Structure 1
Amino acid sequence: MGENEAKSPNTSLQGKKMAYQKVSADQSMSGRSQFLDGDDLQGTALDLEWDMEKELEEPGFDQFQLDSSENENQGHPESVDLNLDSIQPATSPKGRFQQLQEETDYFSHYTRSAPKSNRCNICHFLKIFCTATILFILGILIGYYAHTNCPSDASSSGTVDPQLYQEILKKIQAEDIKKSFRNFVELYKSEDDMEISKTIKTHWTALGLEDVQFVNYSVLLNLPGPWPSTVTLISSGQCFHPNGQPCSERARKDSSPDLLYSYAAYSAKGTLKAEVIDVSYGTADDLKRIKKVKNVTNHIALMKLGKLPLLYKISLLEQTGFGGVLLYIDPCDLPKTVNSNYDTFMVSLNPGGDPTTPGYPSVDGSFRQNQSNLTSLLVQPISASLVAKLISLPTAGTKSEICSPLELPHNEIRIVSMKVQTVTKFQTVTNVVGYVKGLASPDRYIIVGSHHHTVYSYNGQEWASSTAIITAFIQALMLRVKRGWRPDRTIVFCAWGGTTLGNIGSYEWGEDFKKILQKNVVAYVSLHSPVRGNSSLHPVASPSLQQLVVEKNKFNCDRRIQCPETNVSSVQIQGDADYFINHLGVPTVQFTYEDISALEGPSFLSEAAFPQHAIKIEEIDPFFNLHETIAKLSGEMILQIANEPVLPFNALDIALEVQNSLKGDRLSAHHLLAAASCLRESAELFQSEEMRPANDPKERAPIRVRMLNDILQDMEKSFLVRQVPPGFYRNILYHMDEKTSQFSILVEAWEHCNSLASNETLQGALSEVLNSINSAQVYFKVGLEVFESFLVAKT
């Protein structure tokens, strides 16, 4: 109270009537004044300027209670006698301070507390100051040594550190991939599909992957019958199996699984006796030429695999009126890595997923359609050696510098009877799924997909190669995660089941979680059949990812002695990326090693699935160095997409791809070119106004980055068209093959228009392309407006 009173003005106190409070104190209490010298007393008296008249009117009980409490703390509760009768009003002609000095009893009680309070306050302040200083210094020391001893654990996931990526990728070793590959191949020989799935799950869980689980779907599979299919030459009565061996009881008993599994999944079943007509590759031009000279109704087409999607060519044969197809691969089209003498294979006519639940998942309670076969044609793959016997050649595919394509003589008639035996049954297809949860954006997913063995499929070594690579990357990644680091976005690892029969596992999983995936999937990294040859790296990527692929490949080339220039393209690929490209519009990337001859030959030969021992991975890549390269390239893409604050997608490259697809095309009308030009302008503006500033750490506001990433991840969805010919991609940014630079649906529509003398299909395709371009242009424009509105609101 003294401090407050000291602030009151000190006017002339002489001649005023003063009122004083006198309190009788105990003898022991008055003795305490000896600890106060004259200076202290005078200083204390100066502090005690209060309105004495007010004090008389309102006796200060609070001050007494405070004094009493202080004395209790000192162990003398009995030293104060609160005798209220001793409080007497008094008047004095003397000054205020003079009167106070004369009243020694007053000072003995009142002046005691002020210097004690000052000393206590000083001591209390010193204690607090010393304690805070000690704690501050201790905190600095703890933080310093914690940061020094554990730098990796303290690293922020939001900080982009290329060196961190390289430290993770260094853990991927060719020898480890080779060991895993051999283990998986051994499992193929002895275990069924479920046991292999359990092995993968156990291995991934042991590596530390989170929440690894099975995702099962009961689906309709089309499988070979108990006996191989047959082809009988009516003129001679000779019966042959698909591999060219004569039919016999011994051959049936000794028939290997390879013979049984030389079939077309989901083909029609039955027997057909008819003339064989050579349709070459079965293109629209081939069929138009044949229809001019022959009636093809219910006849059997002899057709080569390649050049166009098989499903599309089958649909053309159905429209033309054929009743059956003998499908083969010309030895002249095969890459050197495939043994042309052992050319039995299988194909699938399934466009994707469970045929009984098209467009929705095969879960309990789902309505199932009656779809035992997906075509009215009898389709049977046969070997080139059987084709040679049908056309009366002594041998087929003889090894020479010049390869002569197989061709049925025009003037000869061949009548055969083909018998297709398959069975359909419901089986469980299993996916193995695990993840590493992201730290900053756990609701954004990068999906990494391989495929595992299904008991009714070929490609035994290809799936083992794919699974070994994804397992090697998981192992390297989890070593870092266990040390405290996590990516910004969640990485989901999937081993798909039922891939060979029509990407069944990935389609069902995608349909099951479609709503979540449409919103949250950022990118898909495919590891389907990573090593098919050893001469050329063949990266395939969405237009928005091509620049990043070029950068990563160049960086890896700088560290290798021999690294030829690599062309990155957006072309149709086989495997489980299909659903994510064509139904979700997700940016996708895949690295594979191919033979140059395979790239130069007809496209879509990869639709054929060969027996396990037809392609020997260890002969192609004996030291597994190619596997290591694929794993590191894919891994670096995964890490950068998962951890960059701004998604490394290029909006302008999409616009440039659209313009290139219309360049020099006779189908490119003026309105298409104008729309493509507007799209490029919008993409350039978006790139300069939003993407470049966001890449500056000083302008990298979290809300702005999140908005930008949401726009980037959905850019390709504008290019998903509603209807396409069978086997064509709905995502029109992907071309048919390396040789085709135009939009695939426009190329097909032009051929269809020429064959039918009608432009209805062409006009429909042009409208689809135009709508996609306009939609993308509006998408970028609206994105810019959203950012402008955000900045205005923020201002």
Structure 2
Amino acid sequence: MKEPHRIVLFAVIACGIGIGVGVIIGYFSHDTSIPEPKADPDASQRIMDEIKAENIEAYLRVLTENPHIAGRSVDEEDLVNYITNEWEKVGVKVEIHPYDVLLSYPDEADSNILSIKMADGTLVNQSHPKEAILDQSQDKPGVVNPFNAYSASGDIEADLVYVNYGTIEDFLNISKIIDLDEKICIARYGKIFRGDKVTHAEQYNCSGLILYSDPKDYAVKGRGVYPNDWYLPGTGAQRGTVKQADGDSLTPFYPSIGTAWYRNETKSELPKIPVTPIGYDDAIMYLEKLGGEEVPTNWRGGMNITYRYGPGFAGEFSTSMMKMHVTTKNQMATTKNVIGYIRGSVEPDRYVIIGNHRDAWVFGSIDPSSGTATLLEMVRSFGQAVKQGWRPRRTLVFCSWGAEEYGLIGSTEWVEEFVKVLGSRSIAYLNVDAAVTGNYTIRVSGSSSMKQVSFDAAKTVSNPNQNEIANGRKSTYDTWLHTSDGDEPRFVHVGSGSDFATFLQLPGIAVLDFEYEFDTVALEISGYPVYHSVYETFEYMKAFVDPDFSCHQATARVVAEIARQLVDSPIIPFNVVDYANSIASDKDTMLFYYGSMMEENAIDTGILDEAVANLTTAARSLHNRIDGIDITDALAVRSVNDQLMQLERAFIDKQGITGRSEKSHVLYAPNLHNTYGSSAFPGLVDSMFEIDSDANQKDRWNELTKDCNFNKMDGLNGYASTHNIGIAVWVCLEERLLSV
């Protein structure tokens, strides 16, 4: 019998964050005054001045010369050696960490093909296995045909049904009018993670899924397409993984090293249906022939057709079937992480980590190589500063991850291998993936404790846009604020989709993610148009995104300044009040949607308000204490820094969220139905999803009410009050969730 799985559902910390070492070291110390090493007051400006746009451009040209998919020689040998050499040239110590993992590739000798099978067996309207070469820069060996990694292989014939974006709401709506059992569904890219679309299709027993990029989401009517403009041409197709779990599928929760036990692939939770992507030039051949009712306005894309649900085709194709021929295969390969470090001079056992993944589906000039080039220039700048006499107080760690595109594999395996060390020593992880997707404004997201240091850093960086400067917005911060709603720049939590995820969800390390983006509101497109296609080349970046690489330079400077403050500031620049305020806001939002239902079902949420108030009071008390600290008292400084480091760790439940054991942060986790998005109070939100329309609604509420016990945790509260350390889980709702 499966044992009940208990999680912390409301874990609200009233914090001054004194877990473990922070209590022992420093608070009970006597006179420990020692001379404080003097910080270099000019280091910030020297590091920023050293970051050159032309160097980033040169790096990007090298990185995008050839396709560099994970597990193959260009990425795992050529670029690993290139990055290693570049880092060692500036004095950075480098280690290589290899992992043997399960990857996935298309069969180049037997391409994935879609077609319509006529009643007599004739195949018509076959899809194009390759994207058209529109510029000679794309005509290189090593370009893999469009595919979805970890798709099941097979030949499927069935009626076709259009499911819009394939969100859970889309499937709920269409399942009320069409039986999706054993149908082939076609969904447009956008809104949510592609892997969630596959999960939803499997939940509704679809036999296959076709993914396509609709021009409404990746082009603008009346504008040109690449190579004449930056929008996606009709032959462009988005590659990408459809695997849900992060890390290697064969060694969950453990690193894929030589001593690892690998489970059988049949036991892994990989997609069970065939999936393949196409461009809109192919998609129109199938969508224009669909029968059935017309879809509502918000389901209509940008092609000049009447969008219909199906099932099946109409007219002369009414007796025809959709056919999928998918030959994608999984295979073992070695991926490598390049890890470099500059050792700290005062606290070498405290780490500030900056990372970017190296692998790309094809050339990857935006994702990830704009970030790789940015990271290379930051490392060079830090290395030059060290040569000129700068000595960081704490250790800087630089990471070039392998196989991120396959589900954050390189970073996840590394964190799993060193989780104990990272959990006890790491201050923060700063992630730079697609560093520049546009030239509109910077976007920073992540742990709210680092919101203020992000604002402060952005204020020191000159605006890369001359038009913005002419309008009085001289700094990167000014444009960030101007393009946001409210009295401060937009700063949101992270979900998943890049290498920050495992750092937050496993050891509980504070994270930030950076991107200089396009105007998402004005352009009304789902993402930068050529995402994961063969057209994402150096020439594309140079012509349409950041011609002078000034946005790359600004992004690098913001990240470098945050990193410098984190390694050099005697007191780690975390703002616990910001974190408390964020929790308060998220609590209000959660109760707006679910509070009434919870109260109606005898779940008293009033104690949550008290808990957040206690949290905010404790946070302010901690900062008052920090304001009065003697920074020449090394142990007092160490004590409070240890408390600050433990902030995110306090929300980690090693049992994980019910049904999602790999997600351990009980306050913030990827959304259950959109991995890219973030959910606050994820255990509660997961359990409440569609509860009001469940056939067993009464039983679900009875079970939820029975197990929702708000308990003051006396031991921890006593620990909190002792010596005014202020660390406690003030309120904890422990519950056993039903499988929803």
Q: Place the TM-score, normalised by the shorter chain, in its bin.
A: 0.7 to 0.9
Q: 2:651 matched to which residue of 1?
A: 719
Q: 1:306 matched to which residue of 2?
A: 190
One-letter amino acid matched to 1:204: W
Q: 1:409 matched to which residue of 2?
A: 308
- 1:465-484 map, 5 Å: 465-484=370-389
Q: 1:733 matched to which residue of 2?
A: 668
Q: Cα distance 1:557–1:458, how it changes in 2: closer, same or farther (>3 A)? A: closer
The question of 1:439 aligning with 2:322 is answered no
- Per-residue CA shift, 1:658-708, capped at 9, x if unaligned? 221132523134667544434433333433433333234536632222222
Deviates more, 1:376-385 or 1:656-665: 656-665
Find 1:296's aligned residue among 156, 176, 180: 180
Cα distance, 1:494 vs. partner? 0.5
Q: 2:92 matched to which residue of 1?
A: 209
Find 2:553's aligned residue among 601, 625, 628: 628
Q: 1:220 matched to which residue of 2?
A: 102
- 1:83-102 map, 5 Å: none
One-letter amino acid matched to 1:348: T
Consecutive unaligned residues in structure 1, runs of 5 or more: 1-155, 248-253, 395-401, 791-795
- Per-residue CA shift, 1:690-736, capped at 9, x if unaligned? 33332345366322222222221121234346226779965443675
- 2 CA distance for matches of 1:767 and 1:632? 52
Q: Highest Rg: 1 or 2?
A: 1
Residue 75 of structure 2 contacts residue 358 of structure 2 at CA under 8 Å; is this kept in 1?
no
Find 1:282's aligned residue among 161, 166, 172: 166
Residue 305 of structure 1 contacts residue 605 of structure 1 at CA under 8 Å; is this kept in 2?
no
- 2 CA distance for matches of 1:769 and 1:657? 23
The question of 1:662 aligning with 2:587 is answered yes
Residue 657 of structure 2 contacts residue 663 of structure 2 at CA under 8 Å; is this kept in 1?
no
Q: Cα distance 1:460–1:170, how it changes in 2: closer, same or farther (>3 A)? A: closer
One-letter amino acid matched to 1:567: R
- 1:336-347 map, 5 Å: 337-347=230-240
Cα distance, 1:364 vs. partner? 1.3
Q: 1:421 matched to which residue of 2?
A: 327
Q: 2:509 matched to which residue of 1?
A: 586
Q: Cα distance 1:220–1:244, how it changes in 2: closer, same or farther (>3 A)? A: closer
Q: 2:286 matched to which residue of 1?
A: 390
- 1 CA distance for matches of 2:322 and 2:453? 54
Q: Normalising by structure 2, what TM-score?
A: 0.75
- Per-residue CA shift, 1:451-509, capped at 9, x if unaligned? 2136x656255333222111111111122212333212111000001111111111111
Q: What secondary structure, in the 3-state scheme, does the structure 1 residue paired with 2:65 have? A: helix
Q: 2:263 matched to which residue of 1?
A: 369
Cα distance, 1:216 vs. partner? 0.5
Cα distance, 1:304 vs. partner? 2.1
Q: Cα distance 1:741–1:215, how it changes in 2: closer, same or farther (>3 A)? A: closer
Consecutive unaligned residues in structure 2, runs of 5 or more: 1-34, 133-137, 221-229, 291-300, 314-320, 482-488, 728-740
Deviates more, 1:321-330 or 1:337-346: 337-346
Find 1:231's aligned residue among 100, 104, 114: 114
Cα distance, 1:178 vs. partner? 1.3
The question of 1:549 aligning with 2:454 is answered yes
- Per-residue CA shift, 1:248-288, capped at 9, x if unaligned? xxxxxx99879843111111111111111111122333222
Q: 1:348 matched to which residue of 2?
A: 241
Cα distance, 1:166 vs. partner? 1.6
Query: For this pair of structures, how many residues does the alignment match?
Result: 618
- 1:593-612 map, 5 Å: 593-597=516-520, 601=524, 609-611=532-534
Deviates more, 1:720-729 or 1:468-477: 720-729
Q: 1:172 matched to which residue of 2?
A: 51
- Per-residue CA shift, 1:422-441, capped at 9, x if unaligned? 22221110110110111221
Q: 1:572 matched to which residue of 2?
A: 495
More helix by share: 1
- 2 CA distance for matches of 1:243 and 1:255? 16
Residue 308 of structure 1 contacts residue 604 of structure 1 at CA under 8 Å; is this kept in 2?
no
Q: What secondary structure, in the 3-state scheme, does the structure 1 residue paired with 2:367 have? A: helix
- 1 CA distance for matches of 2:606 and 2:366? 49
- 2 CA distance for matches of 1:780 and 1:435? 39
Find 2:642's aligned residue among 703, 710, 716: 710
User: What is the aligned-residue RMSD (CA, Å)?
Assistant: 3.8
Residue 647 of structure 1 contacts residue 709 of structure 1 at CA under 8 Å; is this kept in 2?
yes
Q: 1:613 matched to which residue of 2?
A: 536
- 2 CA distance for matches of 1:763 and 1:596? 47
The question of 1:184 aligning with 2:57 is answered no
Larger RCO of the pair (alpha carbons < 8 Å, separation 6+): 2
- 1 CA distance for matches of 2:548 and 2:42? 27
Cα distance, 1:568 vs. partner? 1.6
More strand by share: 2
One-letter amino acid matched to 2:497: Q
- 1:32-111 map, 5 Å: none
- 2 CA distance for matches of 1:431 and 1:714? 27
Deviates more, 1:605-614 or 1:442-451: 605-614
Residue 43 of structure 2 contacts residue 385 of structure 2 at CA under 8 Å; is this kept in 1?
no
Q: 2:277 matched to which residue of 1?
A: 381
- 1:511-526 map, 5 Å: 511-526=416-431
- 2 CA distance for matches of 1:261 and 1:508? 27
Find 2:404's aligned residue among 499, 506, 523: 499
One-letter amino acid matched to 1:346: R
- Per-residue CA shift, 1:192-232, capped at 9, x if unaligned? 5312101110110011102x021111111111113210112
One-letter amino acid matched to 2:722: E
- Per-residue CA shift, 1:359-399, capped at 9, x if unaligned? 101111311112267011111112222110002379xxxxx
Q: 1:677 matched to which residue of 2?
A: 609
- 2 CA distance for matches of 1:601 and 1:765? 40
Residue 303 of structure 1 contacts residue 328 of structure 1 at CA under 8 Å; is this kept in 2?
yes
Cα distance, 1:653 vs. partner? 1.9
Residue 451 of structure 1 contacts residue 528 of structure 1 at CA under 8 Å; is this kept in 2?
yes
- 1 CA distance for matches of 2:425 and 2:186? 46
Q: What secondary structure, in the 3-state scheme, does the structure 1 residue paired with 2:158 have? A: strand
Q: What secondary structure, in the 3-state scheme, does the structure 2 residue paired with 1:655 have? A: helix
Cα distance, 1:761 vs. partner? 7.1
